Structure 1
Amino acid sequence: MRAVLVVNPKATTTSERSRDVLVRALRSEVDLSVRYTRRRGHAMALAREAAAEGVDLVVTLGGDGTVNEVVNGLMTAEPPPRGDAPMAERLPALATVPGGSTNVFARALGLPREWPEATSMILEGLRLGRSRTVGLGRADDRYFTFCAGFGLDAAVIHRVEQARRKGRVSTPTLYLRSIMNQYFLASDRRHPAITLERPGEAAEAELATVIIQNTAPWTYLGDREVNPNPAASFDLGLDVLALRQLRVASTTRTVTQFLSRQPDPRGRQVLRLHDTPEFTLLSSRPQAFQLDGDYLGEREKVRFTSVPAALRVIC
């Protein structure tokens, strides 16, 4: 089996020594080539090249941003033809070694949080031929693995990224402080500007912020799952939670609901959609936009679609 390991050398939870250990472990099972990312977006190009070369497996070592780039590289690649095989069978399989601060995608697949244990599970999966096919989400022309956000949560991620560029460490405390600052100091909470449109359905207007999930959980605070849409699944369409208002009382109640051990957010200010194949978000003013925890700027319109059975993963 031919494999490519795409390494983000800035991965926060690994060192050069641990990367060497990982490479030796993988080489015990596969014919491995190691390629390092040098800039943002480079992992996408490396994955696209690997698929065009006809390799069997692409392994990532990095956080969710690295995984997202690799997935987009694979999904936009032109792999060698394999008869009438569906695209998921023609593309290399994906294995994800957690190397970031949160690693939502890897953990949603059931992999351990720490990279040595996750590597052992991946190696076992390779030996046993164990894999699964997962669906993805797509926002306009970009794919995502576990979540997207339009509004408040994306603006919070932007704040966190700015703090990290200044040397701050990504911690639950940093996220909580960023949430409070964004909510109270930088959000227009009185004038909801977002409209959600679905084919054949009445539009849902005057939404304040929208969370989209391709699986559950949405994210983690340390070891604690955060689950606005607990029924979201890699095997179904997209799930949506939108807040109609960002009033202090109702927003606090909703956040408390999806932080609970049995989350089921409800209320007059909550809109939830389950297993949705496609929808479009429009806004009367630019909104912060994120995919898989990466801030991608501001948008006034984004079309979301579910892409079923898109990619094989080793887990």
Structure 2
Amino acid sequence: MRAVLVVNPKATTTSERSRDVLVRALRSEVDLSVRYTRRRGHAMDLAREAAEEGVDLVVTLGGDGTVNEVVNGLMAAEPPTIRTGGSPAERLPALATVPGGSTNVFARALGLPREWPEGTSMILEGLRLGRSRTIGLGRADDRYFTFCAGFGLDAAVIHRVEQARRRGRVSTPALYLRSTVNQYFLGSDRRHPTISLERPGEVTEGDLATVIIQNTAPWTYLGEREINPNPAASFDLGLDVLAMRQLRVASTARTVTQFFSHTPNPRGRQVLQLHDLAEFTLVASRPQAFQLDGDYLGERKKVRFASVPAALRVIC
């Protein structure tokens, strides 16, 4: 089996020595080449090239941003015609994700351990046993995502966190909490919701303040704790949506508390929850912060979302 390991050398939980250990472990099972990212977006190019070379497996070492780039590279590839099938998952190389970032939502949603040594062991066992599963992806306009997207408040929080990290701050749960509080009270127009959700054949849902989209559950983690706005979301179904109509202090605090419950089930007059959607479009009267898989992608006034079933085969 031919494989390519795409390494983000800035992965926060690994060192050069641990990467060497990982490479030796993988080479015990596959014919491996190693490629390092040099800039944002480079993992996308490396993954597309690997797929078009006809490799059987692409392994990532990095955080959720690296995984997202690799997935988008794979989905954009034109693999050799010797690999045929009706779905992208049958034509493309399989994906294995070694957790190397600060949160690793995608890997943990697949059932992989949080730490990279244990995650590597599980992947090696999956390779030996031929264990894999096929998952669906989400697509926002022309970009794919693995576990979540956000339009509004949560994306603006991620933007604040990224700005803090560029100033040398370490990504921690405390940084996310401070950024959320600051964005909510100081950076949001909480009184004038501007987002509408449009679905084919359905009445438009208007006056939404912020929207969370999930392709699986949980949405993210705060340390070891799952945060679950849409607990029924699944890689095997369409997209789930939770939108808040208002961002008033009392109703927002109540809804966020429900996210953290051991049996999360967000409800209330200010909550819109939709399950297993094939497609929908978000439209805003003024630009909104936008994120995919925890990466801030700027501001948009309109984004079309779609579920892409049976998109990718993953080793887990």
Do the structures match in fold with TM over 0.5?
Answer: yes
Indicate the TM-score class for this superposition, using the shorter chain for normalisation: over 0.9
Q: Deviations over 1:33-71 (max 9, x none)?
A: 000000000000000000000000000000000000000
Aligned in 2, Cα 1:164/1:83: closer, same or farther, shift over 3 Å?
A: closer
Select between 238-247 and 81-90 the one with higher mean Cα deviation. 81-90
Partners of 2:97 and 2:286 lie apart in 1 by 37
Partners of 2:78 and 2:85 lie apart in 1 by 15
Identical aligned pairs, as a percentage? 88
Q: Is the 8 A contact 2:87 2:311 kept in 1?
A: no
Partners of 2:43 and 2:229 lie apart in 1 by 30
Q: Deviations over 1:97-117 (max 9, x none)?
A: 000000000000000000000
4+ aligned runs moved over 6 Å, structure 1: none
Partners of 2:167 and 2:8 lie apart in 1 by 20
Q: Deviations over 1:258-311 (max 9, x none)?
A: 111100000000000000000000000000000000000000000000000100
Q: Is 1:250 equivalent to 2:269 in the alignment?
A: no
Q: Is the 8 A contact 2:4 2:35 kept in 1?
A: yes
Q: Is the 8 A contact 2:5 2:35 kept in 1?
A: yes
Task: Say what the alpha-carbon RMSD is for the aligned residues.
Answer: 0.6
Deviation for aligned residue 1:87:
2.1
1:58 match: 58
Partners of 1:85 and 1:238 lie apart in 2 by 22
Q: Is 1:106 equivalent to 2:104 in the alignment?
A: no
Partners of 2:86 and 2:26 lie apart in 1 by 27
Instruction: Give 1:113's aligned amino acid.
Output: R
Q: Is the 8 A contact 2:88 2:310 kept in 1?
A: no
Q: Is the 8 A contact 2:3 2:55 kept in 1?
A: yes
Deviation for aligned residue 1:89:
1.3
Partners of 2:75 and 2:104 lie apart in 1 by 20
Deviation for aligned residue 1:84:
4.0
Q: 3-state SS of the aligned residue for 1:65?
A: helix
Q: 3-state SS of the aligned residue for 2:4?
A: strand
Q: 3-state SS of the aligned residue for 2:162?
A: helix
2:18 match: 18
Q: Is 1:153 equivalent to 2:154 in the alignment?
A: yes
2:181 match: 180
2:276 match: 275
1:309 match: 310
2:131 match: 130
Partners of 2:284 and 2:86 lie apart in 1 by 40
2:196 match: 195
Partners of 1:63 and 1:47 lie apart in 2 by 15
Q: Deviations over 1:160-190 (max 9, x none)?
A: 0000000000000000000000000010000
1:79 match: 79
May I ask how many residue pairs the two structures share in their alignment? Answer: 315
